[in-house]
């Protein structure tokens, strides 16, 4: 287990703005996700990034090939380069992603979107999850699955006193360091732990938290985070009367009755672990449960 020190790195720009500037010489375009402007002048691409405090000028031919409007890029004024915010590691491909009809940044891992963004922004989705946790002012919160930190930040804004958040992939945190919507992860009330949550949680003392927000990858990618053994560990670290919100979505809903076999299995295992008042919340796509 490693404690990760988050530090925000300014300089993000979206591919949509870059593409517009390249295709429309002589016009200036403002980035949709940062305080920056892009203009193409006589075959040169000029990027003025207010937040990074620099201006970059490069030959259009030196820009990344096939700029995608949904990809996010880092403007590195030191090396005069534009770098796609994506990473490959051990068969895993991770990238920052901007929905075409939205300004908020989300995360994609092996083609799977880690946030809901259709009909709702990732930030509003995170706020909705925290809302269903109940009153968090002054509470100690455990989050499983940091991602870009949106739910942790939402809990901060609602007054949580301390948040421990666990992320398995350090590359995800590296990309989050370039995301302006993640910058509050540097708040002193946030502790980021790197490691497999099914192992990290064993080092957490019993009844340490009054709220747990469990937002794991899909069942097929992280089955250990849906196991009865893991739910028993969550039960252990929760205080009596504490709340668990477990995001599941609705995988395989069309099979069988109700919300599908995966969600049904989650609810059954939570009850066997000792939770009560277990129910599914349609609005947020999550199972909520309480510790007696």
Domain extents in the chain: 12-84, 115-290
Q: How far apart are CA 15 and CA 259, in angstroms?
A: 37
Poorest-confidence range of 116-120, 173-177, 199-203, 257-261? 257-261
CB 71 within 8 A of CB 13: no
DSSP 251-278: TTTTSSSTT-HHHHHHHHHHHHTT-EEE
Query: What is the model's pLDDT at position 116?
Result: 82
Which pLDDT band holds residue 256 (cuts at 50, 70, 90)?
very low
Average pLDDT, the chain: 92
pLDDT at 254: 47
Mean local confidence (pLDDT), 124-131: 94
- What's the length of the chain? 292
Query: Rg of the chain over CA atoms, in angstroms?
Result: 21
Residue 106 region, left (φ>0) first, then alpha (ψ -120 to 50), else beta?
beta
Report the share of the chain in percent with pLDDT over 90: 77
With a cut of 70, say whether residue 255 has pLDDT above it.
no
User: Hey, is 175 helix, strand or coil?
Assistant: helix
Q: How far is CA 265 from CA 27, 94, 228, 280, in A?
A: 55, 29, 10, 12
Per DSSP, the chain holds a count of helices (H) and strands (E) of: 7, 19
- C-alpha of 213 from chain center: 13
- The answer to whether 40 touches 30, Cβ cutoff 8 Å, is no
Q: Model confidence at 260, in pLDDT bands (50, 70, 90)?
A: confident
Q: Residue 252: its pLDDT value, please?
A: 47
pTM of the model: 0.91
Mean pLDDT of 60-68: 87
Q: pLDDT by residue (tens digit) across 77-107?
A: 888 899 999 998 888 899 999 987 666 899 9
Of 17-21, 239-243, 247-251, minimum mean pLDDT range: 247-251
User: Among 11-15, 61-65, 152-156, 287-291, which is the least confidently predicted range?
Assistant: 61-65
* Residue 217 clears pLDDT 70, i.e. is over it: yes
pLDDT value of position 251: 53
Order of strands across the sheet that contains 12-14: 12-14, 72-76, 81-84
Contact 165, 146 (CB under 8 A): yes
Determine the 3-state secondary structure of 50 from DSSP: coil
Q: Give the whole-number percent of the chain exceeding pLDDT 70.
A: 96
Determine the CATH number of domain 115-290. 3.40.50.150
DSSP assignment of 184-249, as one string? GGGSTTEEEEES-HHHHGGGSPTT-EEEEEE----TTT-GGGGSHHHHHHHHHHEEEEEEEEEE--
Instruction: Assign 233 a pLDDT band (cuts: 50, 70, 90).
Output: very high
102-127 residue pLDDT tens: 668 999 998 888 888 878 889 999 99
């Amino acid at each position: 287990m490693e404690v990760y020190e988050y530090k925000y790195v300014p300089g993000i720009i979206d591919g949509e703005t870059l593409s517009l500037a390249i295709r429309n010489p002589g016009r200036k375009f403002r980035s949709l996700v940062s305080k920056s402007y892009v203009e193409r002048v006589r075959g040169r691409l000029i990027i003025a990034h207010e937040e990074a405090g620099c201006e970059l000028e490069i030959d259009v031919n030196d820009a990344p090939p096939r700029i995608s409007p949904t990809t996010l890029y880092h403007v590195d004024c030191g090396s005069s380069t534009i770098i796609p915010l994506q990473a490959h590691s051990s068969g895993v491909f991770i990238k920052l992603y901007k929905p075409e009809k939205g300004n908020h940044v989300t995360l994609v891992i092996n083609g799977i979107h880690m946030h809901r963004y259709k009909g709702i922004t990732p930030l509003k989705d995170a706020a909705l999850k925290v809302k269903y946790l109940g009153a968090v002012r002054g509470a100690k919160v455990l989050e499983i699955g940091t991602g870009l930190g949106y739910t942790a930040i939402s809990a901060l804004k609602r007054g949580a006193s301390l948040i421990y958040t666990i992320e398995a992939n350090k590359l995800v945190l590296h990309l989050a360091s370039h995301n302006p919507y993640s910058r509050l992860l540097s708040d002193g009330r946030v502790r980021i732990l790197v490691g497999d949550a099914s192992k990290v949680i064993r080092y957490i003392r019993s009844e340490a938290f009054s709220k747990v927000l469990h937002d794991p990858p899909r069942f097929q990618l992280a089955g250990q985070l849906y196991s009865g053994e893991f739910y028993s560990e969550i039960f252990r670290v929760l205080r009596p009367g504490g709340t668990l919100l477990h995001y599941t979505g609705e995988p395989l809903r069309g099979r069988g009755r109700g919300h599908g076999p995966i969600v049904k299995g989650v609810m059954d295992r939570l009850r066997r672990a000792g939770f009560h008042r277990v129910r599914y919340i349609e609005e947020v796509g999550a199972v909520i449960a309480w510790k007696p």
